[in-house]
Amino acid sequence: MRAFIVGCGRVGAGLAEHLAQSGHEVTIIDTNSEAFNRLGADFPGRAIRGDGTDDDQLGRAGLEGADAFFALTEGDNRNILAAQLAAETFKVPKVVAKINDPVRAEAYAALGIATLCRTRLLVDALAVYLGLPADPGARGVSPATGPHHGVEPERQGRATVASGAEA
């Protein structure tokens, strides 16, 4: 599998290492080259300093034909935009955007965007620790629940789409 990750924070670097150790081809992109220090010295993938919301840079990095794309920066809007480019422009079949705001995560899922809301995951984990019932909606990646424009019918529910500027 060929995987692209935008954002080399703790989550992005951890996923990159895990995928690479499992034998997958990994490219990780971040605007800050110091972020790549989170990767092990023996990381076999490619680390590229660049902007994951720039379609020209994604194209030069070789996103065309990738199997999976993960937008894992700290910015919800940046992640949605990167995910939209991966899904619509590069036709990546599996695209996930990390979203911090639970309201946005639900709205994007309804619009056809697969999301991972770490806020909801953490709230659920803490509630379960206290003995409260689990939140069934806080289980991993929330698949897209609605269709959106620009994606072929057979791809609906798996791609991500949105627009907007970074907040």
**DSSP per residue, the chain:** -EEEEE--SHHHHHHHHHHHHTT-EEEEEES-GGGGGGS-TT--SEEEES-TT-HHHHHHHT-TT-SEEEE-SS-HHHHHHHHHIIIIIS--SEEEEEES-HHHHHHHHHTT--EEEHHHHHHHHHHHHTTPPP-GGGSS-B---S--TTS-GGGTTTS--------
Residue with more model confidence, 150 or 100: 100
Share of the chain above pLDDT 90, in %: 66
Write the pLDDT tens digit of every residue in 12-61.
999 999 999 999 999 999 999 999 999 999 999 999 999 999 999 999 99
Instruction: State yes or no: pLDDT of 148 exceeds 60.
Output: no
Terminal-to-terminal C-alpha distance of the chain: 33
pLDDT of the residue at 65: 96
Quick one: average pLDDT of 81-89? 92
Residue with more model confidence, 47 or 159: 47
Domains of the chain: 2-155 (3.40.50.720)
pLDDT of the residue at 146: 67
pLDDT of the residue at 147: 62
Quick one: average pLDDT of 80-95? 92
Quick one: average pLDDT of 143-162? 46
Closest CA to 112 of 51, 157, 162: 157
Give me the amino acid identity at 157.
G
pLDDT of the residue at 41: 94
CA dist list (Å): 87 to 28, 101, 112: 17, 21, 11
